[in-house]
Structure 1
């Protein structure tokens, strides 16, 4: 009996400290689409992890993956998938892997960037002139590193000709399902997602969960500070700690914020945290207490008081009227004006 022709062949390049969830979600969709039920035989799909030296590759959680194919023995692939790692701590891809990617791109092989893999594709010069998707969490990191390119951070994935990029997490499964549907069929894509307990396939323009920000800065120092603030919503630093982390004095940081945003760092932090709380109220069933803790407020009453002062209604009322069409997506411009700066900083830290 003649073996079934592989309809989708994928090679993976894993960065040092790569995101395991993005890799696992993507490859599991391929695995489940490749065979009947979940028998995992690579009949309709084939996948391999490539490496120049075959050393185990550590993920960001510490689990290591053993590559199975050397770069100099790589076959022909329909797609090469780059899985990125921790931005500030990882060493990325080896020079040999970067050269392999560039040669593949010259040969017309479509490239996929999962999670921070988009950073590596850009560093390799392989995203010039392309739209690319970046997680909202890393949007400002991307701007800080590649200021001339504005990424898409309000979609779960972007397909632009022969470059495919996604925000990571479960969006990697949806991008893989899109490829499965394209090359194998819709039934296979739906089956894979169903076995993974994912209700339905999402198109690339589906909004990223948790995305968006009420503040956009031009000053590089303020942008860096906002990145730190967004990444520490649950446990915010004091303004002094933030300034020390950025290597500047407190007064320098405060002057930069005032000139760029018209806000102090403390009040900017309040606005970020309130916007994050608003988003969770609008998109999740979590309790006000849970949301308060997730966004750096000391308890539910603290969040309720701040939320009412910013939006003019309580979190419970916001949930009741949020679908009526009122614009409740931003705090009022004078949020925090009833507090002096000392209190504002205390609230930012609490």
Structure 2
């Protein structure tokens, strides 16, 4: 028996079953979600820095071999078509932008339905979960979506039982369906999948190489915006999201109420009940939190930060900032950023 053949036999003995992943990229998919998932597969699949598909393999499949454009503009060409696809243990659908260009094609939905009839587990990453629902393969399963896309999901799929929609967790594993909120959580869900089949030490090592301390469990909460708790009334949740999306040009209370299809009085009553504050006070705190973050994470001037956060000028921000934090913006920056005096340009003190 040749050395090559001996090596192959020994390798198969050590790795009796290689996990097979088929990855479908939807138009305008999120590159972070895709790369995080596949990079953990790559690192956990082999020893050293070889990146060979030893413990698991991955194939990018598509309707045809036309490159698929990510939301950032990068294009990736499928390796094989749906008709050429082999058998998979996991079929991963990676989504992204919802309001830019076409969504999953009829052929893609048909492929998803065909895979649902096999022993494969279907995985929806980011808005890939939307495609699973559109394909009709999520009936009776819980589905995880990002808090940011919660209302998009509800509007597109009003027939889905609200108790089956999970928007406050990183991912959900429900038998042969796995859905993930996207972003960094794609690494976490890849780790959870691998831990079913691969030694924990191998997965932990792959996570460390990616500079991830440890994988989050599926019941770990999504990083909601500051002050936005999962249990908040749906109308209040949506109002807070609108406030965050219009920090630079704050919506008036009548505009906010109109978008939510409630009266101003009803909105004020809901906010007081849920948060103990009026909508105006809550919006002001969101803008001040954003300003405080910019002060310690950038070298932008106070005047620039004031404009970005919806304040009329630096003096206006300074007055509101003192009420909230008990110090001026520059004092806040200096006490939390020791090297702030080295920033250029020099920032004028605001009183």
2:183 is aligned, of 169, 180, 183, to: 169
User: Please, which runs of 5 or more residues in structure 2 have no aligned partner?
Assistant: 1-7, 272-277, 327-331, 334-351
Judge conservation of contact 1:12–1:80 (CA < 8 Å) in 2: yes
C-alpha change, 1:286 and 1:206, in structure 2 (3 Å) is farther
The CA distance in 2 between the partners of 1:95 and 1:143, in whole Å, is: 22
2:54 partner SS: coil
The CA distance in 1 between the partners of 2:62 and 2:265, in whole Å, is: 48
The CA distance in 1 between the partners of 2:121 and 2:137, in whole Å, is: 11
2:141 is the counterpart of 1:135: no
Q: Partner residue of 1:213?
A: 228
**Which runs of 4 or more aligned residues in structure 1 lie more than 6 Å from their structure 2 counterparts after TM superposition?**
222-225, 276-281
1:82 is aligned, of 79, 93, 101, to: 93
The CA distance in 2 between the partners of 1:260 and 1:289, in whole Å, is: 38
1:30 is aligned, of 41, 53, 60, to: 41
Q: Partner residue of 2:27?
A: 16
2:309 is the counterpart of 1:296: yes
Q: Partner residue of 2:341?
A: none
Could you tell me how far 1:254 is from its partner in structure 2? 8.8
TM-score, structure 1 normalization: 0.72
Higher relative contact order (CA 8 A, sep 6+): 1
User: Please, which runs of 5 or more residues in structure 1 have no aligned partner?
Assistant: 244-249, 310-314, 317-350
C-alpha change, 1:129 and 1:279, in structure 2 (3 Å) is farther
Judge conservation of contact 1:12–1:49 (CA < 8 Å) in 2: yes
Judge conservation of contact 2:45–2:53 (CA < 8 Å) in 1: yes
The CA distance in 2 between the partners of 1:231 and 1:203, in whole Å, is: 29
Judge conservation of contact 1:158–1:166 (CA < 8 Å) in 2: yes
TM-score, structure 2 normalization: 0.72
2:58 partner SS: strand
Q: Partner residue of 1:106?
A: 117
RMSD over aligned Cα atoms: 3.7
Q: Deviations over 1:266-321 (max 9, x none)?
A: x636525635866998xx9984999x959935466355356479xxxxx99xxxxx
Q: Deviations over 1:238-269 (max 9, x none)?
A: 449x95xxxxxx9955973425423699x636
Judge conservation of contact 1:13–1:83 (CA < 8 Å) in 2: yes
